[in-house]
Amino acid sequence: MLDQFLWPQVKQRGLYFQQDGASAHYSCQVRSWLDQKFPDRWIGRRGPIEWPARSPDLSPPDFFLWGYLKNIVYKDRPSTIGELRGKIEQACAEIDIDMCRRACENVVVRLKRCQELDGKQITN
């Protein structure tokens, strides 16, 4: 997925890559790929920019996107892998730029809330 989907979309933008501490994301192969493609520009477990374990959900995919997509995709449970994939692709295609903008703007609100809570988990 990283090579075939992500990298062609972002390779010339100089972006940072952020991931959580999931076991699959921590493999030597993934970290090596990230070191090569995003030198000193990836945030994750044992990356050049460490992402602390159990940190508050401050990125739009964590606090918004995954839950939003699950609600749409599983509204009518898919019965096959092909149907699941189709529902995911359709749901992603229907996300508009304004929705993304609002979710990203909410990061500032969440960061301020995190400061107020002295870095504790945000529950609402």
pLDDT tens digits, 40-75: 888 888 888 877 666 656 677 777 888 899 999 999
Q: What pLDDT sits at residue 2?
A: 80
Would you tell me the crossing angle of helices 81-93 and 66-73 to the nearest 10 degrees?
130
Q: What pLDDT sits at residue 14?
A: 80
Spatial separation of the C-alpha atoms in residues 60 and 72, rounded to whole Å: 17
* pLDDT beneath 50: ranges in the chain: none
For the chain, the structural domain boundaries read 2-50, 60-116
Q: What pLDDT sits at residue 124?
A: 60
What number of H helices and E strands is found in the chain? 6, 3
- Going by their DSSP bridges, the two strands 49-50 and 17-18 should be labelled as unpaired
